[in-house]
Amino acid sequence: MAALGSAELGQMIRGFWVSQVVGTLARLEIADRLAHGPVESGALAKAIECDPRATLRLLHAAVSVGLVAALPDGRFRLAPPGELLRSDVPDSVRDFAIAMTAPGHWLPWGRLTEAIREGERQAVAALGHELFDFYAANPVEGDAFTGAMANHSASVARPLARALDTSAVNHVVDIGGASGTIIAALLEANPALRGTIFERADVVPRAEAALAKRGLSSRCRAVAGDFFDSVPEADLYILKVILHDWDDQQSVNILRNCARAMRPNGRVVLVERLFPEHGDPGEAALSDLNMLVLLPGRERTASEFAELFRAAGLKLDRTFGLTAAMQGIEASRLA
Q: Give per-residue pLDDT as tens, 13-27.
A: 999 999 999 999 999
User: Residue 161 belongs to what domain range?
Assistant: 155-333
Which residues are marked as active site?
A: 244
CATH number of the domain where residue 322 is located: 3.40.50.150
Least Cα distance to 221 among 259, 187, 272 occurs for 187
Last residue of a domain, one of 42, 57, 85: 85
Total count of domains within the chain: 2
Average pLDDT score over residue span 190-218:
94
Q: Looking at residue 321, what is its pLDDT?
A: 96
Last residue of a domain, one of 85, 115, 133: 85
Q: Looking at residue 150, what is its pLDDT?
A: 87
80 and 160 inside one domain: no
Whether the per-residue pLDDT at 60 is higher than 70: the answer is: yes
Average pLDDT score over residue span 133-154:
92
Average pLDDT score over residue span 309-316:
98
Whether the per-residue pLDDT at 2 is higher than 80: the answer is: no
- Residue 25 CA to residue 123 CA, distance in Å, equals 25
**Residue 84, C-beta contacts closer than 8 angstroms, at least 6 positions apart:** 91, 92, 93, 94
**Amino acid symbol at 172:** V
Last residue of a domain, one of 70, 85, 100: 85
Burial environment of residue 242 by CB neighbours within 10 A (0 to 12, 13 to 18, 19 or more): buried
Model pLDDT for residues 147-170, shown as the tens digit of each residue: 999 888 989 999 999 999 999 999
168 and 72 inside one domain: no
Whether the per-residue pLDDT at 145 is higher than 90: the answer is: yes
Q: Looking at residue 1, what is its pLDDT?
A: 52
Burial environment of residue 188 by CB neighbours within 10 A (0 to 12, 13 to 18, 19 or more): middle
- Is position 183 within any domain? yes
Cα–Cα distances (Å) from 276 to 41, 252, 284, 305, 325, in that order, read 47, 21, 8, 12, 11
Instruction: Report the C-alpha dihedral over residues 222, 225, 227, 232, rounded to 10 degrees.
Output: -60
Instruction: Select, from the ranges 4-8, 86-90, 117-121, 207-211, the one with the highest average predicted confidence (pLDDT).
Output: 117-121
User: What mean pLDDT value characterizes the chain?
Assistant: 95
Q: Looking at residue 178, what is its pLDDT?
A: 86
